[in-house]
Amino acid sequence: MKKTIFTGAATAIVTPMNEFGGIDYESYARLIEWQISSGIDAIVAAGTTGEGSTLTDEEHRELLKFTVDKVKGRVPVIAGTGSNDIAYAVDLTKYACSIGADAMLVVSPYYNKATQGGLIKSFTAVADASDKPVILYNVPSRTGCNILPETCSVLADHPNICAIKEASGNISQIAKTAQLTEGRMDLYSGNDDQIVPVMSLGGKGVISVLSNILPRETSEICKSYLKGDVKKSMRMQLDYLELIDTLFCEVNPIPVKAATAAMGYGKNYLRLPLTPMEKKNEEKLLNLMKKAGIAF
């Protein structure tokens, strides 16, 4: 029986940057501390929200090690180690294992994409190189490559492939994946507006952008559901729906970077091709944050 990596909410944490384009580790450290003190269940470093695709190899490794060292085992650290270059993903996965990351988040190959057979071989190569659990990451809107339920079923037999972050947005596909992999692979929502629907299909929680600014509340949506208080979980999901939508009104992590900057966790700097949020959208976001009781 495979061990569940976490239940509840894992924050796909932003990577604060400074005006010179480097990583703002002081702000990052404070954000990690606040996340943990607020009851978040795990932290995902150097993922999509963490701008992992624009980090140099040295920065990527440094950020992962800093995260592991700062968290100190208080919650699981999940390292973003996926790439469209599988040899690089294998190498980065080995490194993340060596520094004590608790699990890997491995996105499907982007740009060059793959057939379903290519996905099976690629994910198997990464999982074979890992001595920690691997979470598949399906986000076809970004990668142009969809991990089909039947492919998940094959991969679920690998002893190191323990879960999937599903961000396809296709509930019918997610249901089929849950059916075909039940008991062999955990399921996490990759979309904050679908936490409750995915948990109704047996999901264990969410890998979240929202939890960058509402860690306790995002975790509570999941935990209420798991405790059987579906009504409360659903109510919270719906109450935050407009805020969630606004966090994705521009390409992630543009809005959430503006939000965490407003809260004092670094400045609103991103790496190209990402640019700061449009003013009208930022005003709406900040107003919704105030309405939600977020202090800044």
* pLDDT score recorded for residue 212: 98
* pLDDT score recorded for residue 164: 98
| CB contact set of 56 (below 8 Å; sequence gap of 6+) | none
3-class DSSP state of 99: coil
Give the containing element (helix H, strand E) for 32: helix 25-37
* pLDDT score recorded for residue 30: 98
- Interhelix angle 57-71/25-37, nearest 10 degrees: 40
| Buried b / exposed e along 180-196 (16+ C-beta atoms within 10 A) | bbeebbbbbbbbbbbbb
| pLDDT tens digits, 152-181 | 999 999 999 999 999 999 999 999 999 999
| pLDDT tens digits, 183-241 | 899 999 999 999 999 999 999 999 999 999 999 999 999 999 999 999 999 999 999 99
Averaged over 44-60, what is the pLDDT?
97
Averaged over 278-295, what is the pLDDT?
97
| pLDDT tens digits, 250-275 | 999 999 999 999 999 999 999 999 99
Q: Which residue's structure tokens are 């952008």? A: 209
Tokens of 200: 């109704």
Kindly report the CATH class assigned to 8-230.
alpha beta
- Torsional sign, CA 44, 71, 244, 246: negative
Q: In whole angstroms, what is the distance from residue 171 CA to residue 176 CA?
A: 9
3-class DSSP state of 166: strand
Tokens of 188: 């996490």
- Evaluate if residue 120 carries a pLDDT over 80: yes
Known catalytic residues? 137, 165
* pLDDT score recorded for residue 80: 98
3-class DSSP state of 17: strand
Averaged over 20-39, what is the pLDDT?
97
* pLDDT score recorded for residue 296: 81
At 1, the pLDDT band (50, 70, 90 cuts) reads low
| pLDDT tens digits, 178-193 | 999 988 999 999 999 9
Q: In whole angstroms, what is the distance from residue 71 CA to residue 79 CA?
A: 13
- Evaluate if residue 2 carries a pLDDT over 90: no
DSSP 8-state assignment for residue 3: P
Burial label for 283, CB within 10 Å (0-12, 13-18, 19+), is: exposed
Domain ranges of the chain: 8-230
At 295, the pLDDT band (50, 70, 90 cuts) reads confident
Full-model pTM? 0.97
- Evaluate if residue 128 carries a pLDDT over 80: yes
Average pLDDT, the chain: 97
Tokens of 91: 């190498």
Averaged over 40-61, what is the pLDDT?
97
Torsion angle of C-alpha atoms 171, 79, 66, 95, degrees rounded to 10 = -170
CB atoms within 10 A of CB 231: 10
| Single-letter residue type at 263 | M
- 128, HSE (Cβ side, Cα atoms, 13 Å): 8
